[in-house]
């Protein structure tokens, strides 16, 4: 169901994606165990950060999922400014900002992502070098049966009704899913 999460996030971010001429691609994404709305928050934050912490090159983001034992590792890779190794753990702490006020934000997004992912039994980390882009990764349990998703009761709203619109929006934003 992460493909649905990604489609919804892209709809929510369609304006910022279009204004910044962001090129987003995605490989096949897995069915996982987790709260749909909370996973949307994580994916949206990681994509928004990839757009925010950019350099002068056109922004490229690639989202993939890889099986690792009984878990999936979801990766959001960008070609942005990167993060020096000594800051890899620090950026997940509440109110930690590497760029002061030069880039807007409150320093809470990645801390929230960490809390969400850990509450679902996973972990989150970054693979990056300064000036070489970043790959944010998080692990999450695989769904008991591939392709099956039972929404949490408070999530009776489901994406299927907007599927055509999501496909149209994705096409207009030069998003390639399954690349």
At residue 159, the pLDDT reads: 34
Averages of pLDDT over runs of 10 residues in the chain (179 residues) are: 92 93 92 90 95 89 93 94 81 63 63 93 90 92 56 33 42 42
Residue 145 exposed, middle or buried by CB count within 10 Å (0-12, 13-18, 19+): exposed
Mean model confidence pLDDT for the chain:
78
At residue 96, the pLDDT reads: 59
At residue 132, the pLDDT reads: 86
At residue 161, the pLDDT reads: 35
At residue 78, the pLDDT reads: 95
pLDDT digits (tens, 9 = 90+) for 120-161: 999 999 998 888 899 999 999 887 644 433 333 333 233 333
At residue 31, the pLDDT reads: 87
User: What does the alpha-carbon distance between residue 68 and residue 141 come to, in Å, rounded to a whole number?
Assistant: 9
């Amino acid at each position: 169901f992460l493909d649905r999460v990604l489609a919804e996030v892209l709809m929510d971010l369609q304006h910022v994606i279009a204004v910044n001429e962001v090129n987003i691609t995605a490989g096949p994404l897995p069915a996982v165990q987790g709260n749909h709305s909370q996973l949307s928050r994580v994916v949206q934050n990681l994509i928004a950060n990839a757009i925010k912490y950019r350099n002068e090159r056109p922004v490229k983001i690639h989202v993939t999922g890889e099986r690792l034992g009984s878990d999936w590792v979801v990766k959001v890779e960008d070609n942005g400014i990167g993060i020096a190794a000594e800051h890899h753990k620090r950026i997940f702490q509440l109110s930690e900002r590497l760029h002061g006020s030069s880039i807007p934000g409150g320093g809470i997004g990645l801390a929230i992502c960490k809390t969400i992912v850990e509450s679902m039994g996973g972990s989150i980390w970054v693979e990056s070098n300064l000036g070489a882009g970043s790959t944010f990764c998080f692990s999450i349990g695989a769904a008991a049966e591939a392709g099956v998703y039972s929404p949490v009761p408070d999530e009776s709203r489901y994406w299927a009704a907007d599927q055509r619109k999501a496909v149209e929006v994705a096409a207009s934003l030069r998003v390639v899913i399954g690349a």
